[in-house]
Chain A
Amino acid sequence: MMSLRLQIIIIVCMVFALIFIIRRVATKKLDFKFGIAWSLVVMVLLIFGIWPSLLAKVSHVLGIYDPVNMLAFVGLILAIFAIFSLMMEVSKQGEQIKRLSQELGILRKDTYDAVNEKNDKDSSDTVDR
């Protein structure tokens, strides 16, 4: 059973969380797809805050006796999922950085050659990489 005070605290916190997320997305500090994912989580919690009996119903459907246990379990699953998708994003960016590094290295070589070839025709300055 949830006290009214707790319900209000949850609802207020979730509203603030939603505003926080939307502002981050709007100022490009958070990617849109991550903003959507977290907004969904916040909205589910918001719904539970407004309608706590739903929490009990869902946990019974899942076969969990205590709704608090269900929250903890689901929260853990979500956290693991979030960490995993972050690792995938990091892997993808790692590949991109590798590609950029190679391109940059080759670009420096080509620039070096082009500048020195020009300089062979004029003065004796050379470009240092």
Chain B
Amino acid sequence: MKNIIIIPAYNESGNIENTVRDIIENAPDFDYIIVNDCSADNTLDICRKNHYNYINLPINLGIGGAVQAGYRYAYYHGYDTAVQFDGDGQHDAAYLSKLLSEMKQQGADMVIGSRFIENEGFQSSGIRRVGIRYFSRLIKLLTGQRITDPTSGMRMVNRKLLEEFTAAYPKDYPEPESAVIVLKRGYKIAEVPVQMRSRAEGESSISMSKSVYYMIKVSLAILIASIMK
């Protein structure tokens, strides 16, 4: 089975080396591909200098476009699974094999690493947790399934979903919306408890003022996605 880790990276010059080192040390069965989303800092130079596997996007696409580029790469190169892994150091590569075994055991099409099953490790800020709980409830209302961490970036998909996401994937804040789309099309989602760290360096690409806009936008997008088949 061919497995790949997709690392979307935008201005992660402070974190990217540690992230790749974590992967190489703790997830040796996985290939990886960094998707440099036209970073303005020297993320690209660091990738070149270290001879990392990377795709360098000529135009900034945002997290949705960058991750979809990774899915497209994984699909074209015949991978059986692809797991998104954030380039900011919040994710811990030791959990990746746990996601993989859960996928095999449960026959799930998507496995999400959730911070909120055992509630250990970095639990994100208070306001964000309110937002996450809200999305969790909204998704339960619309699909019947409880997703405890709908915004988690640590998610593994199988080849069937690779094909779906290569064809279409949401642009902004894609995690909750893609979960609803996946459920509405009859695929299976499983969750696995993981611990995450707080971001080591740099800034999140989602600021506070953007958060309100995103809350509304994602809610509407989820509603629309749930009407569609």
Contact = CB atoms under 8 A, between A and B. Distances in A.
Contact of B59 (A22, A32, A36, A99): A99
Nearest to B225: A26
A100 interface: yes
Contacts of A102: 58
Nearest to B57: A103
State which size class the interface on B falls in: 10 to 19
Interface stretch (B9-17, B154-162, B216-224): B216-224
- Of the four ranges (under 10, 10 to 19, 20 to 34, 35 or more), the interface on chain A belongs to 10 to 19
A100 B228 CA distance: 33
Main secondary structure of the interface of A (DSSP, over half): helix
A96 interface: yes
A28 B228 CA distance: 12
A100 B224 contact: no
Contact of B227 (A26, A99, A103): A26
Contact of A25 (B58, B168, B224): B224
B220 A36 contact: yes
A28 B168 contact: yes
Interface of B: 58-59, 168, 171-172, 217, 220-221, 224-225, 227-228
